[in-house]
Amino acid sequence: MVTVLAALTAVGPSVHSVSLAPSLPTGGYVALGDSYASGVGAPPYAKGTDVQVENGNKCKRATAAYAHQVADKTGKTLDFGACAGAWTKHFYEARTPWKEPAQLDHLDASTGLVTFSIGGNDAGFAKILSECATQPPFSNCSSDKEVTEPVDSTIDALAGKGKQAGVYSYDTIMTDIATRAPNATVVAVGYPRMFTRQGGKGGPVPGRCQGLAKVDQRWINARTNELNTALRATAQRHGYQFTDPSGSFAGHELCGKQTSWFDGLLDDGRFHPNAAGHKAMASSIMNTLNNRQAAQEQPAAAQAQVDNTRPAGSFTLARDGDQLSLDASASTDADGAIAGIDWYVQHADGTEEVLTGARATTTVPADEQVSVTAVVTDNQGKEDFTTQVSAAG
């Protein structure tokens, strides 16, 4: 994902660090992907990859990126092909002005290990995060179809459930990795969730986390989960490994209880893992490599999560004086059951109230405009977001 502004270095993670080198095929290590793999947010960057002139190479390959740590722990020579701003198309297309080959061209029959993180830029997460952080009250990203529909269609395309110009499915990418590097162990690296489930507050915008309302924090987490689910299912279908670093980041999300392992809104690596975050990602990858024989979710079960239909949220909103009554009991799930309903009530002063249950009531002054989002969760964890804005009476 793309970056904007001075980096923040956090204390090192306390996650378990694996020092034992796993048994891997002979050959070098190739690290591919976008800025989450290249190390934006964890400077310094390698010479020639942060050239601030027109057409200068801006891949921003950090010396603290997880790829270097994995190379050190496995004893393998690193071929670092990941590059900031990469889309799936850059696995196939050269970035000529930067003198960067197509990323898959780094692979050959001698490759022994491959890691890759890709798809976030195709989904537009970098742009969306920046725009969500500057949204005024009642203009949440999660309620804007011009934002949500392109994200949802891109995730479907990555999962192979549809097609979108310029987006290569995970299945296509992994099929081509297998062709080019038939002897390699391959690890698909998921994106760590950026926010706590409850949502948090902190940063330059009062009442929000690095500029984002709680409902948008939850929406971004939900779509991150869907992207990771598609990546996991495809990796397992191809017999590859998948690692989800989110567990390693627990408590260290933005506005979490402990020091954040992400750069915030005003940092150079805006909304990217910092050096501590990359240490956690490296540990997650090494744990996966050292436990390749451990029982994993079966491909069919993982694919079932991808195929699961998002629930259809629906609710009524009624005002009687200062009382606001909400009812989402008409929400449905075509292939399962509704497991939970949460409400995000945004008041005119910018404060946000969170309620739970199919029906809920709260107090809102009759002369105050209010925005309400119902988050409907199904029995497989997929979430739908539905918003209504009620004008002042």
pLDDT tens string 274-300: 999 999 999 999 999 998 755 455 677
The answer on 274 and 248 residing in a single domain is yes
Nearest Cα to Cα of residue 116 among 65, 167, 164:
65
Per-residue model confidence (pLDDT) at position 128 = 87
Q: How far is CA 261 from the centre of its chain?
A: 14
* pLDDT over 90 percentage in the chain: 78
The answer on 300 and 357 residing in a single domain is no
Question: Beta strand pairing status for 352-356 and 338-346?
Answer: antiparallel
Encode pLDDT of 67-122 as tens digits: 999 999 999 999 999 999 999 999 999 999 999 999 999 999 999 999 999 999 99
Q: Which amino acid is at 176?
A: D
**Which CATH number covers residue 293?**
3.40.50.1110
Distance in angstroms (rounded) separating the CA atoms of residues 203 and 194 = 14
The answer on 320 and 299 residing in a single domain is no
Domain tally for the chain?
Answer: 2
Domain assignment of residue 373, yes or no = yes
The answer on 210 and 159 residing in a single domain is yes
Handedness of CA 264, 269, 272, 276 (dihedral sign): negative
The answer on 298 and 324 residing in a single domain is no
Handedness of CA 279, 284, 285, 287 (dihedral sign): positive
Cβ-based burial of 205 (10 A; exposed 0-12, middle 13-18, buried ≥19): middle
- Degrees to nearest 5, angle at CA 89 with 164 and 112: 125
- Reported as a pLDDT band with limits 50, 70 and 90, residue 11 is very low
Domain assignment of residue 18, yes or no = no
Q: Cβ of 341: how many Cβ atoms within 10 Å? A: 24
The answer on 271 and 330 residing in a single domain is no
- Reported as a pLDDT band with limits 50, 70 and 90, residue 137 is low
Per-residue model confidence (pLDDT) at position 132 = 83
Domain assignment of residue 351, yes or no = yes
Q: Which of 307, 326, 361 is the last residue of a domain?
A: 307
Cβ-based burial of 351 (10 A; exposed 0-12, middle 13-18, buried ≥19): exposed
Q: Which domain holds residue 97?
A: 28-307
- CB under 8 Å to 260, separation ≥6 — which residues? 10, 252, 253, 254, 274
* Region of residue 261 (left: phi > 0; alpha: psi -120 to 50; beta: else): alpha
Q: How far is CA 335 from the centre of its chain?
A: 25
Q: Cβ of 166: how many Cβ atoms within 10 Å? A: 11
Nearest Cα to Cα of residue 244 among 234, 229, 258, 255:
229
Q: Which residues of 104-138 are buried (b: 16+ CB within 10 A; e: fewer)?
A: bebbeeebbbbbbbbbbbbbebbebbbebbebebb
Domain assignment of residue 4, yes or no = no
**Which CATH number covers residue 368?**
2.60.40.10
Per-residue model confidence (pLDDT) at position 294 = 53
Distance in angstroms (rounded) separating the CA atoms of residues 242 and 234 = 9
Expressed in percent and rounded to 5, the helix, strand and coil fractions of the chain are 30, 20, 50
Q: Which of 283, 307, 331 is the last residue of a domain?
A: 307
Per-residue model confidence (pLDDT) at position 8 = 32
Catalytic positions are: 35, 272
Mean pLDDT of 42-56: 95
The answer on 210 and 84 residing in a single domain is yes
For the chain, list the strands marked E by DSSP: 28-33, 78-80, 111-117, 185-189, 241-243, 316-320, 323-327, 338-346, 352-356, 359-363, 370-378, 383-390
User: Over 90: is that where the pLDDT of 350 sits?
Assistant: no
Q: Which of 255, 276, 307 is the last residue of a domain?
A: 307
Domain assignment of residue 1, yes or no = no
Domain assignment of residue 8, yes or no = no
User: Over 90: is that where the pLDDT of 14 sits?
Assistant: no
Per-residue model confidence (pLDDT) at position 131 = 80
- Reported as a pLDDT band with limits 50, 70 and 90, residue 5 is very low
* Widest CA span in the chain: 72
Domain assignment of residue 168, yes or no = yes
Beta bridge partners of residue 100, listed in sequence order = 95
The answer on 286 and 324 residing in a single domain is no
Per-residue model confidence (pLDDT) at position 306 = 83
Domain assignment of residue 74, yes or no = yes
The answer on 237 and 356 residing in a single domain is no
More confident residue, 105 or 9: 105
The answer on 357 and 296 residing in a single domain is no
The answer on 201 and 278 residing in a single domain is yes
The answer on 364 and 302 residing in a single domain is no
pTM: 0.90
